[in-house]
């Protein structure tokens, strides 16, 4: 899997077009965490629910996996690659790093 830092993800999202749509932002935290803060456009799918939801995801679409600090997301990203997903990225540092580096107005916990 590839790693993206928050600035790289912000640039990727800024440069999205109809021809090059943004990646799926897959937030694997728990609901209570997602309610505190999340990156706009993220889809919440708690880590424990990912195996049962694989058929809802597109294996050829780029997916950026997100959690609080990047640990759970790295595990889920590795799992998705093992399941045949071809363009998987882990957000290094998670939403915590996103709040520090890209969106200082975002709530943190």
Match domain 2-101 to its CATH number in 3.20.20.140, 3.40.250.10, 2.60.40.650, 3.50.50.100.
3.40.250.10
Tell me the domain boundaries of the chain.
2-101
Q: What is the pLDDT of residue 107?
A: 97
Active site residues per annotation: 67
- The structure tokens 């590839």 sit at 2
Q: Which two tokens stand for residue 54?
A: 């694989």
Residues of the chain with pLDDT under 70: none
Q: Please name every residue paired with 3 in a beta bridge, in sequence order, or none if there are none.
A: 90
Q: How far is CA 32 from the centre of its chain?
A: 17
Q: What is the pLDDT of residue 31?
A: 98
> Which of these, 18, 11, 75, lies nearest to 26 by C-alpha position?
75
10-29 CB burial, b ≥16 within 10 A, e <16:
bebbeeeeeeeebbbbbbbb
Q: Please name every residue paired with 68 in a beta bridge, in sequence order, or none if there are none.
A: none
């Amino acid at each position: 899997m590839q790693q993206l830092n928050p600035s790289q993800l912000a640039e990727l999202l800024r440069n999205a077009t109809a021809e090059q749509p943004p990646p799926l932002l897959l937030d694997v935290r728990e609901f209570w965490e997602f309610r505190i803060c999340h990156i706009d456009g993220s889809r919440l799918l708690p880590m424990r629910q990912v195996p049962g939801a694989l058929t809802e995801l597109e294996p050829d679409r780029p997916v950026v996996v997100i959690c609080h600090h990047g640990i759970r997301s790295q595990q889920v990203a590795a799992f998705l690659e093992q399941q045949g997903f071809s363009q998987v990225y882990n957000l290094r540092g998670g939403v915590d790093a996103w709040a520090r580096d890209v969106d200082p107005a975002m709530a943190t916990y």
